[in-house]
Amino acid sequence: MAEITLPQRVFMIGVPGSRWSGIAQNIEDNISGFNTTDRDPQRTYTHHTFSGHLGAYFGTGWEFDTSLDSENLDAPYTHTRGTRILKSHEWAYQLDAIREQYPQDWIMLVHRPDLSAYAWWHEAVGLQ
C-alpha cells in the first residue's frame, strides 16, 4: 500500500449532527502525523458518552473566525508541526477561496442524511 503524504491543513466541513467532529477525532487519534495541540478542557464539549467537540472550531459564535489568513488558522495550536484539521460549518461558503489560497491542502466534506443529522443534532444539544 502506498504511503500518503498528508497536507499542512485539512479544512473539514459537516452540517450539525453529521458526526463530523467524531470523524475528525478518529482521524487525529488513529493516523500519525496529525496535530492535536488545539485541544484543551475549555475547548471540549461532551454529551452522552461522546466527546462531541474536541479542539478549536472556526466560525460565527466560535473562538476563531473563518478568516483564511494563516495567522488565524494557526492560532489555536501550540505549534504548527503536523497536519491540522480545521473544523467549521462555514468553510462551505469559502471552498473556492480555500482551494485558491491553499491548493496543496485538503477539503473534507462529511455527509449524513438530513433527517439523521437533524435528529442527532437535536439529541446532542438537548432540543425536543
Q: What is the mean pLDDT of the chain?
A: 84
**Highest mean pLDDT, choosing among 32-36, 50-54, 99-103, 113-117:** 99-103
Lowest-pLDDT range of 63-67, 79-83, 118-122: 118-122
Q: Letter for the amino acid at 127?
A: L
| pLDDT, position 14 | 84
d(CA 102, CA 74): 14
The pairing of beta strand 106-110 with beta strand 9-14: parallel
| pLDDT, position 126 | 55
Cα angle value 77/8/54 (rounded, 5°): 40
Residue 43 has pLDDT above 50, yes or no: yes
Cα angle value 78/26/64 (rounded, 5°): 40
Tens digits of residue pLDDT in 98-114: 999 999 999 999 886 76
Closest CA to 44 of 21, 16, 20, 68: 21
Question: Residue ranges of the domains in the chain?
Answer: 23-113
